[in-house]
């Protein structure tokens, strides 16, 4: 089962995102929990969310992915920035309960000179403070390209964050694998997908992999750049992307396109192409 969709704008509300997704035959989608540059969250209209829930339930969507703002940095050197991360995540997770059982994806953050170990300690510390055993959302750590002092460029770092979360809360923490990011981080998903997934399984455990970000990359493997390309227009290529979508260990996960499209129809065409290649007979 392929649940494929894309990042959508929430500016016209929740029901509107459901309608946008249906119009491009998406089976999931992602949206920002609030302005990606940070700031206060818009208040939720429960009737609007209820209409989205109705669409999602009726149309057999995969889980939805809510993306935290980019400015959220739980391992910043600045206490003010760390406090914003904590406050925003706590508030966002409370809002997630309007759409129960879905995913909240965030970038682990940049330690800006404090070191990876301290960064991991701070990220896990925030999770231990804001996660609640009764929440229905699963929080996802996104695999990162490892640019600058970014944490999450290595599977070991994500595993260490999960391990530092209290055992009774650890089930609330999963992983979202971004194909552009892991490629830029040096993992060879083009020539050795099985090897990369084996490594993921050994270090983190594939059962904790909950979502995929499907992007091509403008840069060669290991570049640590994080510049997304349209599928087939980058260094990963369409065949490798389709092998990922078809991989037996990755079935049923929501697959979110974050490619640089000018408009919704660009995503529509990408979804159509990938669905047909996914189903096709060709050996890739
Ligand atoms: Fe992201
Ligand atoms: Fe991503
Ligand atoms: Zn990215």
Ligand 3 centroid from CA 283, angstroms: 29
Ligand 3 centroid from CA 168, angstroms: 30
Confidence band (pLDDT; 50, 70, 90) for 35?
Answer: confident
Ligand 2 centroid from CA 49, angstroms: 24
* Separation of alpha carbons 111 and 43, rounded Å: 31
Is residue 204 within 8 Å of 155, Cβ to Cβ? yes
Ligand 3 centroid from CA 126, angstroms: 23
SS3 232: coil
Instruction: Calculate the dihedral angle through the C-alpha atoms of 212, 189, 259, 100, rounding to the nearest 10 degrees.
Output: 0
Residues with CB under 5 A from ligand 2 (ion): 178, 213
Ligand 3 centroid from CA 227, angstroms: 6
Ligand 3 centroid from CA 281, angstroms: 31
pLDDT in tens, 11-29: 999 999 999 999 999 999 9
Ligand 3 centroid from CA 120, angstroms: 20
Q: How far is CA 212 from the centre of its chain?
A: 6
> Residue 26: CB partners within 8 Å, gap ≥ 6?
4, 5, 6, 267, 271
Residue 282 reports pLDDT greater than 90: no
Ligand 2 centroid from CA 179, angstroms: 8
pLDDT in tens, 37-93: 877 888 899 999 999 999 999 998 999 999 999 999 999 999 999 999 999 999 999
Ligand 3 centroid from CA 171, angstroms: 25
* Separation of alpha carbons 219 and 43, rounded Å: 39
- Nearest listed ligand to the Cα of residue 109: 1
């Amino acid at each position: 089962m392929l649940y494929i969709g894309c990042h959508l704008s929430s500016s016209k509300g929740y029901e509107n995102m459901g309608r946008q997704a249906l119009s491009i035959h998406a089976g999931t989608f992602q949206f920002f929990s609030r302005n990606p540059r940070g700031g206060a969250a818009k208040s939720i209209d429960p009737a609007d969310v209820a209409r989205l829930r109705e669409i999602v339930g009726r149309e057999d969507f995969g889980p939805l992915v809510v993306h935290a703002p980019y400015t959220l940095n739980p391992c910043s050197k600045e206490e003010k920035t760390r406090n914003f991360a904590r406050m925003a995540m706590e508030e966002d997770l409370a809002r997630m309960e309007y759409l129960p059982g879905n995913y909240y994806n965030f970038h682990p953050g940049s330690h800006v000179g404090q070191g990876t170990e301290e960064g991991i300690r701070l990220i896990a510390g925030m999770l231990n403070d804001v996660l609640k055993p009764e929440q229905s959302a699963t929080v996802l750590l996104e695999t990162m390209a490892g640019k600058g002092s970014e944490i999450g460029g290595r599977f070991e770092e994500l595993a260490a964050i999960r391990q530092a979360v209290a055992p009774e809360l650890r089930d609330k923490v999963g992983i979202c694998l971004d194909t552009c990011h892991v490629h830029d981080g040096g993992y060879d998903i083009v020539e050795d997908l099985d090897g990369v997934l084996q490594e993921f399984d050994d270090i983190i455990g594939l059962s904790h992999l909950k979502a995929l970000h499907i992007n091509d990359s403008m840069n060669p493997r290991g570049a640590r750049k994080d510049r997304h390309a349209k599928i087939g227009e980058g260094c990963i290529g369409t065949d490798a992307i389709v092998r990922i979508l078809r991989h037996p260990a990755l079935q049923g996960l929501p697959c979110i396109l974050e490619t640089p499209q000018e408009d919704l129809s660009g995503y529509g065409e990408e979804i159509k192409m990938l669905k047909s290649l996914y189903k096709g007979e060709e050996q890739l």
